[in-house]
Structure 1
């Protein structure tokens, strides 16, 4: 669980980076589905620059520094970060880059969330920082070029709980990688960026069980369902906002699904199934998310432990305190919550949600 004070420090830091210009998404109003996806592709392609594959390491000190967990400026690695305790190991930017590795903690390198073998390691995809993260070399290697999905019986589990093994996601039986819950939405929004940014090239890419070969939807049906579900289960985080702003400074384009997470459903639909929800290990859930009518519902296995809920804005302002028996009723009527991103905080857990 993120320490809330650390969240606030990270948010203040992220504000130093460039935000999206007011006109950046002009022309998207009223669009949905394939039309919205194609319009966004045009927007995020225009002006984008390629800093080269080696240039990624120059960008990472601004895009992937830990300001949220240990808040120590180390490399924020999705495959080793432990959000509930001490990390098994840490890397400093520019130190212990791979190189050779044999075990976790040897070195870090560049993980293409959409494997570069799918597009022949060609530019500009091979150096697009929006979907290429610094990660532990060993776990990156074990992930290989597998798509992302749910794993019940892993053949490999990293020290932070990232799993590789046979898929238990409906519609696919090959090997997949399942990240920890903290980063499932992050990975989903990165892949949505990729299939939007490069939609006109998808027909020439390999599928790998992940990519579709047409501009829309751009993903195989089973993978689309997994990623849409993950985006809902793990809403937008401060780390993603900071990363998107820093990537805009570095690369001159943005991930629209971080600026507007509601566009995931506007393009691909909800896709959230009961079986997907039941596999998530989180104890506390907010629904619907995004909230549209000023009313949200708490659910989960630990409602009997919750006596007080506090709702904060992203600026750290306490918006509302609710004291009630949440086991009897998990309904909360929001007060003074305008459109934006909020954090619902209990004594032991924090959950992000969006108000539209």
Structure 2
């Protein structure tokens, strides 16, 4: 609602703000288009540009990056934490909360170069140009790192306001990208367009960063230009941008022409083609090769007028599993002896979704308590070998992994695929996994110099064990009896500063309460009558009062009914709401089929 209320004042703001553009500032632009207009704007915004130095940005933010548009409380307006439609997850007081050290969101704010300063070797005046350097949360700034901006398919990190890091689904680029929320996509686009205009004569000497072009025109790589033009259209100039542009002009002496005259974007680079056509439905979805914890899926590719960016995999009850770019996937973390039904939806880079595919059903095999692999990671999909330390992100088997302060050029002795991830002062973290975790196995080895030590293993932020390592170790280490059910996130952290540790051959088993001491005491579990009569299903067995939850599921996989502590006071379940058919009763330890007549 905050953004909507201010949009009602947009016309009034434009009338008053355009009066603040210096008379004649854009003289000489009339009638120009394309490269000629861009070059003229370069001349205009270069004249008068005052370099106040890198440290001067802190002073500049006193007027340029304050929130008088959403909360209207004068706190730092951070595009990585601002919630335009509700309460911000945290706020920063100007000056007081400057970075500094940070470990989590909300610790402090620092200076985010929307065009990474590594691309121009931190040289002046670029390194201090306030028009593309925003005050943002330190943690999110660090996660964004030097990645270009684009549309994220599978996210490895999501900030508290919804900004995402992950695999690109922007047409023409499949690397890692950072995606701001919709309310600030246009802001980012116009900042980058300003940069390639202000510094067009120097672009040939800059690194590309998979975003910049090497020539004055168009100034950007094709994929990035197309994405930014789309975002420029999606998110028009806001009152906040206009206010920042005016304050930046007072501070630095030049302006962002694409905020003053949004029409210049189309006049220079052309009108972007808006993709409103959804992909066709994926077809021939098939489920096969079940294990006790996984099922393989395959399907025939969808088609699209521009291109299919990825496929979202769902359980038939509408639960999202993962996004993949190919036409096969292995769904892991499933429960033994359980019927699962799946469908797939294709998406293009513009966010258009296809109708869902046909459904495919398969039953997982019976499992042994705590036995069998639930998930694996062999690091075969890590980024190309590189000796520099950075945030590394990749997806394998539907799971996205994020390794901070990591390199990709090392391996462990006897490693089968000759690949491992090596972390220095960082950690390896998974995306959210279903099925819980019973035990975890991993191989670790010390690389280069340092002393033998241990890695910390955390599940959902709680340390559950350690993995010792030495310079000569190549033996897998297992942590047993972790016993965490539900959704989990695996994190392996290196607490020893300076040690560089290679990690490989990671696997884990799903949680199975049959493996616990109490559950193992449960003897025969049976239901009666079957078929059910008079809408009441009775259960016989020991330790029934220890069962925490029962679920009734139809054969399509749809969850029909959930009963917490179902047998605390009796041994029966009321099924009055069920129609005739075949159903599954799933408890903590067992899944049983029954019929309602």
TM-score (norm 1): 0.75
| 1:9 Cα deviation after fit | 8.4
The answer as to 2:166 corresponding to 1:199 is: no
Pick closer, same or farther for the CA change 1:266–1:122 going to 2, 3 Å. same
- The structure with the larger Rg is 2
Distance 1:50 1:56 in 2: 10
Kindly report which structure 2 residues correspond to 1:262-341, keeping only aligned pairs within 5 A, or say none.
262-274=263-275, 275-278=348-351
Structure 2 unpaired stretches of 5+: 276-347, 354-597
Q: Give a deviation string over 1:55-96, Cα, whole Å, max 9, x none.
A: 001011211111111111000000000111111000010011
Structure 1 stretches of 4+ with a deviation exceeding 4 A read: 3-12, 14-18
Which secondary structure state, in structure 2, belongs to the residue aligned with residue 141 of structure 1? helix
Q: CA RMSD in A?
A: 2.1
User: Could you say which residue in structure 2 is the equivalent of 1:47?
Assistant: 48
Residue 75 of structure 1 aligns with which residue? 76
Cα deviation for residue 272 of structure 1 reads: 3.2
Query: What's the offset of the Cα at 1:17?
Result: 10
Task: Give the Cα separation in 2 of the matches to 1:68 and 1:279.
Answer: 31
Matched, 1:121 2:122: yes
Distance of 2:210 and 2:233 partners within structure 1: 22
**Partners of 2:23 and 2:349 in 1: how far apart?**
36
- Cα shift readout 1:107-152 (whole Å, capped 9, x = no counterpart): 1000000000000000000000000000000000000000000002
Report the CA distance between 1:273 and its aligned residue: 3.7
SS of the equivalent of 1:31 reads: coil
Question: Which residue number in structure 2 is paired with residue 228 of structure 1?
Answer: 229
Report the equivalent of 1:136: 137
8 Å CA contact retained: 1:229, 1:273: yes
**8 Å CA contact 2:82, 2:88 repeated in 1:** yes
More deviation in 65-74 or 184-193?
A: 65-74
Checking the alignment, whether the CA contact within 8 Å between 2:18 and 2:260 is kept in structure 1 is no
- For 2:64 and 2:18, locate their aligned partners in 1 and report how far apart those are by CA, in whole Å: 10
Structure 1's unaligned 5+ residue stretches are 281-356
In proportion to residue count, which structure has more strand?
2
Residue of structure 2 in register with 1:95 after alignment: 96
Structure with higher RCO (Cα < 8 A, 6+ apart)? 1
Q: Is the 8 A contact 2:78 2:135 kept in 1?
A: yes
Aligned to 1:85: 86
Which structure shows the bigger proportion of residues in helix conformation?
1
Distance 1:279 1:62 in 2: 39
Provide the rounded CA distance (Å) in 2 between the counterparts of 1:169 and 1:62.
Answer: 34
- The residue number in structure 2 matching 1:2 is 2
Q: How far off its partner does 1:278 sit?
A: 3.4
Aligned mates of 1:95, 1:79 — CA distance in 2: 19
Counterpart in 1 of 2:387? none
Quote the offset at 1:16 in angstroms: 8.6
Partner of 1:343: none
- Aligned 8 A contact 2:171 2:349 in 1: no
Partner of 1:259: 260
How many residues matched?
280
- Tell me the alpha carbon deviations over residues 20-57 of structure 1, each in whole angstroms, 9 at most, x when there is no partner: 11200000001000000000000000111001101001
Q: CA deviation at 1:270?
A: 1.8
Q: In structure 1, the residue corresponding to 2:136 is in which secondary structure?
A: strand
